[in-house]
Structure 1
Amino acid sequence: MSDLDVTAELALAAQLADAARPIALQHFRTGLRGDAKPAQEFDPVTEADRAIEARIRALLAQDRPDDGVLGEEQAETLGRSGRTWVVDPIDGTRAFIAGLPTWCVLIALYGPEGPILSVIDQPFTGERYSGVAGDAAWLDHGGSRQPLKTRQSVDRIEDAIVSTTDPGLFEGGEAECFMTVARAAKVRRYGLDAYAYAALAAGGVDLVIESGLKAWDVGALIPVVSGAGGVITNWRGEPAHEGGQLLAAASPELHARALDMLAPAAL
């Protein structure tokens, strides 16, 4: 969008993440267990989720009243500017209630064609991953900033580190296709939620494969991964910002190989 001030919007995204941090840390490792959302699979929501999203929405209503807001915990707010903030207040709530520091606060700014920029924030470790789609990504930690670059040297599944949040969430053909990739991979690491995509952008993990995601689960992942040189699509190789099946890879070659293996179960 030609009228978008990327620097100003990144600064606002950082301010939103700053506002979320103390709320998240106030509740982390306090024995919080959360309420179950109506679903077959246990999908908890906590006081932290609700409070963070409410705070972010209040700040956006003040600073960007014409922008829309799509979040996990409240109804969508439609905007007039053509821009929408997509928020997952705690991605990885299961990890959050278990006291594991792999949950993240996800904040993305969408234009009409999808995510433009985003923040993946881990308040407990103090890591903040930011990105501009297809352009650049960086990590702010401990008062320093470093550019992010995916591990481009890996182009074979057999050399890759592959991750998914929980292989048990795949069913039927999806499970078969995922396990074909996982068995071929050099290393498998599970249970990381959005943190796996940050690790991919930082040159650690090489492949992340998931399914059943919502827009707020994926919006912030796309600018960070693509800004660091990675490729992130659905299992058909198409834009994935609306959710569903997701494949993120450190290199185009690795992405193409994984895409071929997942194609039989692509929706």
Structure 2
Amino acid sequence: MDKLVASAEAAADLAGAVIRPLFRSALLVEAKGDASPVTEADRGAERALREHIARHHPDHGVIGEEYGPDRADAEWVWVLDPIDGTRAFVTGRPLFGTLIALLHRGRPVLGLIDQPATGERWIGVEGRRTIFRGPFGGAIGCRPCPELSTAELASTSPDIFPPGQDAGFMALRRAVRRTSWGGDCYIYGLIALGLLDVVVDATMKPWDWAALVPVVEGAGGRVTDHAGRPLTLESEGDVLAVGDPALLPACTSLLSV
């Protein structure tokens, strides 16, 4: 596994070299089919990631946001989101990240969140303590928070919840101490640093969540769907992360409202 971790870090370095010169520069922004912005940084970074994987792991499969699946039925599959939080990227906010995950027979066993503008990086491996490196301090470890009334909740956007899920989220929001918005993958890194307690999102694709699972769980938290079930490639895209596993029953109960 150490060699795979080193390979993931090398891949993140290559993607960062593509992304950093384009951050806060004049970019041509197009519209995807789902109306989210896409830039030359997304595509160039994913090409760099795929080229690295093809060179060093030719028998592995790849699932990427920009260029789709390649041998997705392989035993080992890399799941890539070159820029998770493209809206933040194109508006100059450093609340985005490159996500690199490795699945073994469909289960996330390695996850990396890289913030190439700030130099922060989280590395999670199944069965190991998550590693964090960054210039601003911070120590890995989800904080104890057994009561929702004292919990800090975050979500990417209030608009991501489809009809039928928004009522449950609002019930959870009323139960916590405070709610903040925005951050995409970055807020999951903050859970692993003990700075947030709950993150709830919806309509997420495998490249949005696969890398987050080993990072949060390696810091002592849990990542599931809204019903508390493990995430799989067949999951519907609703994601719940808690820093203190004691919060999971209360969160899933409210999200089912």
TM-score, length-scaled by structure 2 = 0.95
Pick one of 10, 13, 17 that aligns with 2:12: 17
Partner of 2:229: 238
User: Is 1:114 matched with 2:107?
Assistant: yes
Percent identity between matched residues is 38
Structure 1 unmatched runs, 5+: 1-5
Question: Aligned residue for 1:197?
Answer: 188
Match of 1:34 in 2: 29
1:1-267 equivalence runs, <5 A: 6-39=1-34, 42-78=35-71, 82-142=75-135, 148-151=140-143, 153-242=144-233, 243=235, 244-264=237-257
1:163 deviation in Å? 0.5
- Structure 2 unaligned segments of length 5 or more: list them: none
Residue identity opposite 1:158 in structure 2: S
Q: CA separation in 2, counterparts of 1:119 and 1:58? A: 18
Count of equivalent residues: 255
Deviates more, 1:54-63 or 1:74-83: 74-83
Deviation string for 1:211-257 (max 9, x for gaps)? 10000000110000011110110012111143510000011111121
Equivalent position SS for 1:213: coil
In structure 1, give the amino acid aligned to 2:142: T
Q: Residue type matched to 1:157 in 2?
A: L
SS of match in other structure, 1:51:
helix
Offset at residue 75 of structure 1 (A): 2.6
CA contact (8 A) 1:13 1:119 kept: yes
Separation in 1, partners of 2:9, 2:241: 24
TM-score by length of 1: 0.91
AA paired with 2:2?
T
* 1:149-187 alpha-carbon deviations (Å, 9 max, x no partner): 101x20111100000000122133211111111122112
Which AA in structure 2 matches 1:233?
T
